[in-house]
Structures are given as structure tokens and as C-alpha cells.
Amino acid sequence: MEINFSKLPSSSRIWIYSSSRKFSKNETDLIKGYCSTFLNEWTSHGKGLQAAIDIPYNHFIVIGINQMY
């Protein structure tokens, strides 16, 4: 289940991916759309996860996961 980053607990796992260039508005929208679909379907051992995505500075993709949900 996708939630806002501010709702994730501090014990959440975080993945940060950087780009060699800034993303355009179109690219940012596409990335968020694809990631949103994936995050809403992501499970662990058949159990749903709380997940969030952010693209700070149009340069990084940050994904957070709360596995204890």
C-alpha cells in the first residue's frame, strides 16, 4: 500500500537511486506512475507492505518500505 513518506516509521528500509541528470517533468510523472503501481502490489511472504516514493530535486528516486505493517 502506497503512503506518504512522512507516515513511514523511522525503522523503514530506504533505497536511493541517483540519476546522472535531472529528470524532466514527464519522466518524473512516468517514474512515479510506474513505481506507484509496483508499490501498491508489492508483498512480502503474501503480506502487503507500506511503501512510499519520492523524487527529490528531480535527480534521485527514493523508495521507503515498512515491512512491519
Q: Burial letters for 7-23: b for 16+ Cβ neighbours within 10 Å, e otherwise?
A: ebeeebeeeeeeeeeeb
32/62 Cα distance (integer angstroms): 11
Phi, psi (rounded to 5 degrees) for 48:
-65, 155
Phi, psi (rounded to 5 degrees) for 12:
-65, 150
Residue 69 has pLDDT above 70, yes or no: no
Q: 1-58 pLDDT, tens per residue?
A: 899 999 999 999 999 999 999 999 999 999 999 999 999 888 888 888 899 999 999 9
pLDDT of residue 42: 86
Q: Are 68 and 11 in contact (CB under 8 A)?
A: yes
